[in-house]
């Protein structure tokens, strides 16, 4: 798949709420980066990335809404703006905005990094 194909597929799956399936686009040795100082700042390997996603999902009590923007592709990278409005199991509700940047290699996501304002994270 081309970078555009991967970008389109990821966006389509996320818009349908099929996040688990979206991880099928990741390489086995993919790396995921959160903002410095955040939990799981660097996660290596698809199995570990999936475990982190599962922990994230378990921390959410209710999802109120969210958006997945259109991908912007440049070479072997693409970026997607995303928002989510969730209430966590601790009762805190948060509106989050981020830009996700993905690097594609051999038709798979090799690296994902997520950029957001950490001051809202408490």
Confidence of residue 69 (pLDDT cuts 50, 70, 90): very high
How far are the Cα atoms of 11, 49, 51, 54, 104 from residue 1, in angstroms, in the given order?
A: 15, 22, 26, 27, 9
Per the listing, tokens 């209710």 go with 62
Query: How far is Cα of residue 104 from the mean position of the Cα atoms in its chain?
Result: 14
- Residue 122: is its pLDDT beyond 70? no
14, 98, 66, 56 alpha-carbon torsion, rounded to 10°? 70
**Cβ contact 87:62 at 8 Å:** yes
Q: What angle do CA 8, 10, 16 make, to 5 degrees?
A: 100
The model's pTM is: 0.93
Rounded Cα distance, 116 and 30, in Å: 21
- Taking residues 24-50, what's their average pLDDT? 94
Q: Find the mean pLDDT for residues 70-90.
A: 96
Average pLDDT of the residues in 92-105: 95
Categorize the per-residue pLDDT at 38 as very low, low, confident or very high, splitting at 50, 70 and 90.
Answer: confident
Answer yes or no: are the C-beta atoms of 116 and 97 closer than 8 Å: yes
Q: Residue 121: its pLDDT value, please?
A: 65
Cα distances (Å, whole numbers) of residue 25 to 11, 21, 34, 112, 116: 11, 8, 19, 11, 23
pLDDT score of 47 more than 60:
yes
């Amino acid at each position: 798949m081309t970078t555009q194909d991967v970008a389109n597929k990821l966006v389509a799956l996320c818009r349908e709420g099929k996040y688990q399936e979206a991880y099928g686009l990741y390489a086995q040795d993919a790396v995921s980066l959160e903002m410095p100082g955040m939990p799981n700042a660097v996660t290596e390997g698809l199995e570990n990335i999936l475990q982190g996603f599962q922990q994230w999902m378990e921390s959410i009590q209710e999802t109120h809404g969210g958006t997945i923007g259109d991908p912007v592709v440049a070479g072997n990278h693409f970026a997607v703006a995303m928002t989510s409005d969730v209430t966590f199991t601790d009762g805190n509700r948060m509106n989050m905005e981020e830009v996700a940047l993905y690097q594609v290699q051999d038709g798979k996501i090799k690296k994902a990094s997520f950029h957001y304002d950490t001051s809202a994270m408490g």
